[in-house]
Amino acid sequence: MQNRPYVAILIATVWWGAYALLFAMDVVAMGQKQGIHVSWEEAAAFSFGGWLTWIPFSLGLYAAVCRFPIQRGQIIKAVVVLTGAVLVVVMLKAIYVYLTNPIFTWYLEPPQFGTVMADSMKNNFMMGWAVVGVSHSLLFYHRARDKERTVAELEAGLASAKLEAIRARLNPHFMFNALNSVSEMVHQDADAAESMLVALSRLLRDSLSGNQEAERPLADEIALAKDYLMIEKFRLGERLRVEWTVDDAALCAQAPALILQPLIENAVIHSISRRKEPGWLRVAARAAGQRLLISVDNSRTPGDVGTPGSGLGLESIVSRLAIIHGKNASLKIDTSNPGVYSARLDLPLSVSRKDAA
């Protein structure tokens, strides 16, 4: 917005300067066709002396349009004001021509001011309204850009607020489960409980950090998930077996914050921890073309009642994918195999500048 006066000045200067140059060329060409010698110096002085006056006139009319644009609610007032502004330009142009006639010889004989004023009305009134029309176009263009910018800022702010709300709901849910696991271990194995508390402290540090970015490297998500699994491993022992298969390219890829941990938590809480026999959890991530593919599979007992992971964790993932990537990302759940519960994330592949460097 602060640069608009400079843009208007630049447009007016370039337009009327180019128009004056073309007019001077036309004067020379017409003189040659009629057998009249007109030098470039004479043509340029005549043309630029006349047309460059429209630079300040155009800027004045643009300022009037910005103050009184023809729009709903003030059409009559704007037309009256702008008509007055055009008439002022007509009069100023007449005064300029009258006073500079000895220099540029607009008239062969010294004219009466009334004659100059009438000619100015005939030559400049519609020109003034043409400038008013162009000024409206420029004004409405700037307004449209401002509206687009405002909408984009509001959408970004809304998306950020939604992400914050989801994170605020998800973090306590996540932490309460981890704290319950620690509390169960305190009376069984003090050393294990201490290790669990160290892992939990890292989880809390991540939860309470001021870094609330919507996305971060997948490596950070994996580190967070491993801290959580460390806690659950102490609690479940051999009942929980974990396998990781992650490509190096996937580690640097950007992923929505807290996108992986809820899937792992769902697998542990809703399936593996409910089994008496050992269960397994497999986490894989790879870059495929321009996509980041993440899978979280876990064993389940055939015939389990209910759908594992149908609560807050998966709701948060679906919501954040929609906010950050719209329809360009998806979460798919596959339960076709009665002994396996599979979650598949399909995300756009992007790498932060820091990681790319």
The string over 150-176, giving b where at least 16 C-beta atoms fall within 10 Å of a residue's C-beta and e elsewhere, is: eeeeeeeeeeeeebeebbeebbeebee
Most confident residue range from 244-248, 274-278, 299-303, 351-355: 244-248
Could you give the percent of the chain with pLDDT greater than 90? 37
Judged against a pLDDT cut of 50, whether residue 310 lies above it is answered with no
56 or 214, higher pLDDT = 56
Confidence of residue 172 (pLDDT cuts 50, 70, 90): low
Rounded to an integer, the average pLDDT of 305-312 is: 48
Judged against a pLDDT cut of 90, whether residue 296 lies above it is answered with yes
The pLDDT of residue 178 = 65
- pLDDT tens sequence across 21-31: 998 888 888 87
| Terminal CA-CA length for the chain | 35
The pLDDT of residue 332 = 94
Judged against a pLDDT cut of 70, whether residue 356 lies above it is answered with no
Judged against a pLDDT cut of 60, whether residue 160 lies above it is answered with no
If DSSP states are collapsed to H, E and C, what string results for the chain?
A: CCCHHHHHHHHHHHHHHHHHHHHHHHHHHHHHHCCCCCCHHHHHHHHHHHHCCHHHHHHHHHHHHHHCCCCCCCHHHHHHHHHHHHHHHHHHHHHHHHHHHHHHCCCCCCCCHHHHHHHHHHHHHHHHHHHHHHHHHHHHHHHHHHHHHHHHHHHHHHHHHHHHHHHHHHHHHHHHHHHHHHHHHHCCCHHHHHHHHHHHHHHHHHHHCCCCCCEEEHHHHHHHHHHHHHHHHHHHHHHEEEEEEECHHHHCEEEECCCCHHHHHHHHHHCHHHCCCCEEEEEEEEEECCEEEEEEEEECCCCCCCCCCCCHHHHHHHHHHHHHHHHHCEEEEECCCCCEEEEEEEEECCECHHHHC
Rounded to an integer, the average pLDDT of 144-169 is: 64
Rounded to an integer, the average pLDDT of 76-94 is: 95
- pLDDT tens sequence across 118-129: 999 999 999 999
261 or 160, higher pLDDT = 261
Rounded to an integer, the average pLDDT of 214-221 is: 88
Judged against a pLDDT cut of 80, whether residue 89 lies above it is answered with yes
The pLDDT of residue 211 = 56
User: Domains along the chain?
Assistant: 4-150 (no CATH), 188-356 (3.30.565.10)
The pLDDT of residue 154 = 57
The pLDDT of residue 241 = 92
* pTM of the shown model: 0.51
Rounded to an integer, the average pLDDT of 146-162 is: 66
CA distance 250 to 190: 37
Q: Tell me which amino acid residue 80 is.
A: V
Paired strand residues for 241: 280
Confidence of residue 228 (pLDDT cuts 50, 70, 90): confident
**Long-range contacts made by residues 167-173, C-beta under 8 angstroms, separation at least 24?**
167/212, 167/257, 167/258, 169/312, 169/316, 170/258, 170/262, 170/312, 170/313, 170/316, 171/207, 171/258, 173/312, 173/313
Closest CA to 195 of 206, 177, 214, 181: 181
CA distance readout (Å), 272 to 175, 179, 232, 236: 19, 18, 10, 9
Least confident among 142-146, 273-277, 295-299: 273-277
Confidence of residue 85 (pLDDT cuts 50, 70, 90): very high
